[in-house]
Amino acid sequence: MAARDSDRFTYRLWRYDGAQGELIPLLQSAQDHFGYIPRRAISYISSVTGIPESDVYGVITFYSQFRLQPMGKYLVRVCAGTACHVSGAKMIIETVQDELGIEVGDTTGDGLFTLNTVACIGCCSLAPVIMVNDETHGRLDPASVRKIIRKYKRAEEETRREESVATCDDET
């Protein structure tokens, strides 16, 4: 595979000496560069290192730090730490999955929401807790978490409506 401009991260950040242990920093630099690890980066890494694509893919899926899809505009992190777990985190996760139509680790088809779980957000007294980007929401139940997700969806719809009105005004 020929290196494109967007693949140059490997030249700047990494000199491969044939050691398999170098694969992790290389994957990290790819993710830093693209925001996730695209298919073309896997092919490129495989061609440069000689590590089969299936093995590169295996390492990516083994470590939770790596993403195979771009991050959504809104990162929804549901706390699954002990305090949240005993306060119903499982129900919160299921509700968010249902509301967004995705599984943990996935991004919605419109690129708006990515859903992850975390070990502890650091405000256990508010359990169960979620974060949407930098905003923390606590003392949740399935109804209130649905409300929160729908609030973000509505805000997005309004933004899109306003943008399309602005575009129409520009055209007149």
Give me the residues that bind ligand FES (CB under 6 A), please.
79, 81-84, 120-124, 127, 129
Tokens of 66: 């790596």
Cα–Cα distance for residue pair 80/88, rounded to 1 Å: 9
| CB nearer to ligand FES: pick between 72 and 138 | 138
Q: 25 by DSSP, 3-state: which?
A: helix
Least Å distance, CB 147 to ligand FES, is 20
Least Å distance, CB 123 to ligand FES, is 5
The CB-nearest residue to ligand FES is 81
| CB nearer to ligand FES: pick between 67 and 77 | 77
Residues 137, 140, 146, 152: what is their CA dihedral angle, to the nearest 10 degrees? -10
Report in angstroms the alpha-carbon separations of 96 from 80, 119, 132.
Answer: 13, 17, 12
| CB nearer to ligand FES: pick between 27 and 129 | 129
Comparing C-alpha atoms, which of 129, 149, 37 is closest to residue 78?
129
| CB nearer to ligand FES: pick between 26 and 76 | 76
| CB nearer to ligand FES: pick between 51 and 84 | 84
Least Å distance, CB 104 to ligand FES, is 15
- Contact call for residues 128 and 81 (beta carbons, < 8 A): no
Cα–Cα distance for residue pair 144/146, rounded to 1 Å: 5
Least Å distance, CB 63 to ligand FES, is 22
Least Å distance, CB 126 to ligand FES, is 7
Cα–Cα distance for residue pair 162/62, rounded to 1 Å: 42
